[in-house]
Structure 1
């Protein structure tokens, strides 16, 4: 889960596993796997950092890294 800020300043927490895409349009727009779009105050690079940290915390990145090593 990652903490984010809505445009109105309200804080909320989002399950990072549901994120399909993050864009700056110019506001940061997050597209979820179900097609829903969320616009947040957080800059795109901050959102990407939060996602990356979350993946590292739950061990998701090491799973992909190890799988890639085995198939080579």
Structure 2
């Protein structure tokens, strides 16, 4: 029982050295010029949403999830 309690901590400690060796995210180093863009026939505008709290970007679509 006590071993199962420490398993998540042990797993994190095993991964920690690899996390420390990762380079910083490229998104924090530079900000590209952003503009709206149109794709398809007929042209449909797409907008890029930036999550400033992480390194994720989102493109909104009308497709069902």
Instruction: Name the TM-score, length of structure 2 as normaliser.
Output: 0.29
**TM-score normalised over the length of structure 1:** 0.26
In terms of fraction of residues, the more strand-rich structure is 1
